[in-house]
Amino acid sequence: MSGIIRELPTAARFERVGAHTHIRGLGLDEKGRAVKIKDGMVGQERAREAAGLVVKMIKEGKLAGRLIILAGPPGTGKTAIAVAIARELGLNVPFIEMSGAEVYSTERKKTEILMEAMRKCIGVEIHEMREIYEGEITKLELRTAPHPYNPYQRVVDSAKITLKTTEEERTLEVGEEIAVQLVQMGAREGTVIQIDAETGRVSVLGLSQESSLAKQYEVDTKAKVPRPQGKVRKEKEFVYYVTLADLDKLAARRRGGGLLFSLLLGAPEEKELSPEIRMEVDRQVKEMVDQGKAFLHPGVLFIDDAHLLDLECFSFISRAIESELAPIVILATNRGFARIRGTDVEAPLGFPPDLLDRAIIIGTETYDEESVREILKIRAVEEDVEIGEEALKKLTKIGAERSLRYAVQLLSIAAEHAKSSGRSKITSEDVDRVDYLFMDVSEAVQHLKKYEELMMKH
């Protein structure tokens, strides 16, 4: 056969469209005023401006340990505002989203789940200065010795390596532990490495761009890095990003022996951490912050459908937000007056009055027809579908009079119906057809009442 070159399709990027993938931020101008349509947000100017002040205070570290409540009817953008807050805060600020139903587990206490979620929202930026040897390996000589239990086998005993930087070249004698790491990591001449002067830990950074090894292949998967600057032995700052929950788990493993202890002695791995472990972690973190070795990044815990929490959970949250190391907690609910779960007490939003006193409340309102239209246009762009003017008018009317969520769902279904009919653009006929095939909530209620006698009751 003659040689045939066939170009393979490139891997597609992740293109799954979610309910809030179009949101880029709160859509505020330089003065903190909400723009009608910006960053994927439409309408809700009052709520967005309030959220903008919250974001500003979070970034300045002035809102730690506060409780914020997003209250409004279903489909008015409460979750969208919480997602926009996360987008505004950036990558260094942890954002955890959960539902009120997630706290109920048969294996762990509700308060333990809430505590872990809160501690995942506290980021710790640790700065550490360490003495290291860093450079490109220009010469590597491995030495072997007879195996202690098998005289016919030889093992790596030590090594002699020459490291080169832009300023100097230095030869080092290293012991067995470091030599074994070099072999295991595949280090060879042309590789840029770091050796911790205190612990002996070896890190391979990649291939030196100046080495002949990096120029050997036109296509290679190994990372190419510039030859290090400065001296071979130097003091370098390392920055680590962890959360309090990560530090809790590390402390628990050190204290209990971790997985090895569980396997050897038959002890079950703890599902819940003791308060003493968390207190010790808090003490160490505060000490590092006072010494300037660490910085805290209080994040956001967003609990949707917060009316599903019970009195025990609300009491725990009230106490937890008073801690020095507490995140910003945002609760969202679409309830008016409702019973507090687990009690016969009715209260606003289904929350205890003492919790409401500690919170700042941001209200969301129903969208007007113009806002519904703009949201549908944004969703059409996000889902990469074309929609005609008449079809957009009908969907806008459905969204304004019945439900925005129902209109958004019909948009996707109408696009599929148009595609199956051989059209690339959604028409008013597509909207009419899918609206006839599917029901909104009010139509479903009427349908159930019509056949109530034929259906089972619980």
Looking at every residue in the chain, the average pLDDT score rounds to 82
Kindly indicate the confidence band of residue 282, based on its pLDDT and cuts at 50, 70 and 90. confident
Per CATH, the number for 37-121+299-363 is 3.40.50.300
Phi-psi region of 40 (alpha: psi -120 to 50; beta: other; left: phi over 0): left
Which neighbouring-strand residues pair with 31?
none
3-state secondary structure of 93: coil
CB 410 within 8 A of CB 438: yes
Q: In this predicted structure, what is the pLDDT of residue 64?
A: 65
Q: Judge whether 37-121+299-363 and 369-450 match in fold.
A: no
Give the range among 103-112, 261-270, 281-290 with minimum mean pLDDT: 261-270
Instruction: Give dist(CA 140, CA 173) in Å, integer.
Output: 10
Percentage of residues of the chain with pLDDT beyond 90: 8
At 345, which amino acid appears?
V
Q: Report helix, strand or coil for 387.
A: strand
In the block, which residue shows the tokens 């569980």?
Answer: 262
Query: How far does Cα 288 stand from its chain's mean position?
Result: 25
Greater pLDDT, 25 or 426: 426
Q: Give me the architecture of the 369-450 domain, per CATH.
A: Orthogonal Bundle (1.10)
* Token code pair at residue 285: 């973190």
Assigned token pair, 191: 């590789």
Beta bridge partners of 133: 195, 233
- How far is it, in rounded angstroms, from Cα 134 to Cα 11? 36
Query: pLDDT tens digits, residue range 140-172?
Result: 888 888 877 777 788 888 888 899 898 888 898
What torsion do the CA atoms of 241, 245, 250, 255 make, to the nearest 10 degrees? 150
- Nearest alpha-carbon partner for 326 in 273, 295, 282: 282
3-state helix, strand, coil in the chain (%, to 5): 40, 25, 35
What was the pLDDT predicted at 65?
A: 64
- Residue range 334-347: mean pLDDT, rounded: 87
Measure the CA–CA gap between 174 and 187, rounded to whole angstroms: 14
pLDDT in tens, 388-430: 999 999 999 998 888 888 888 899 899 999 989 888 899 999 9
What is the mean predicted confidence (pLDDT) over 373-399?
88
pLDDT per position as a tens digit, 83-132: 888 788 776 678 888 899 888 877 788 888 998 998 898 888 888 888 88
Q: What is the rounded distance in angstroms from the CA atom of residue 233 to the CA atom of residue 194? A: 10
Q: How many Å apart are CA 214 and CA 236, to the nearest integer?
A: 25
Rounded average pLDDT over 315-327:
83
Q: At what angle do helices 369-382 and 389-401 cross, to 10 degrees?
A: 120
- The residue ranking higher by pLDDT, 104 or 66, is 104
H helix runs in 7-150, sequence order: 45-59, 78-89, 110-120
Q: Provide the residue ranges of all domains of the chain, joining segments of one domain with +.
A: 37-121+299-363, 127-239, 241-290, 369-450
Question: CA 107 → CA 195, 245, 252, 308, 322, distances in Å?
Answer: 43, 18, 18, 19, 27
- Number of CB atoms found within 10 A of residue 317's CB: 25
3-state secondary structure of 219: coil
pLDDT of residue 429: 92
Gap between the Cα atoms of 240 and 190, Å rounded: 27
Rounded-to-integer distance, Cα 118 and Cα 328, Å: 9
pLDDT at residue 433 in the model: 92
Mind listing the pLDDT tens digit for each residue in 181-206? 888 888 888 889 888 888 888 888 88
pLDDT, position 63: 67
Residue 58 has pLDDT above 70, yes or no: yes
Distance from the first to the final alpha carbon of the chain: 71
The tokens describing 222, both together, are 């190994």
Give mean pLDDT, residues 240-253: 85
CATH 1.20.59.10 fits 127-239, yes or no: no
pLDDT recorded at residue 17: 52
Give the list of residues 6+ apart from residue 354 with CB closer than 8 angstroms, or none: 318
- The Cα-based distances of 144 to 127, 148, 183, 201, 236 in angstroms read 38, 12, 12, 20, 32
The string of pLDDT tens digits covering residues 428-455 is 999 999 999 998 888 888 888 888 888 7
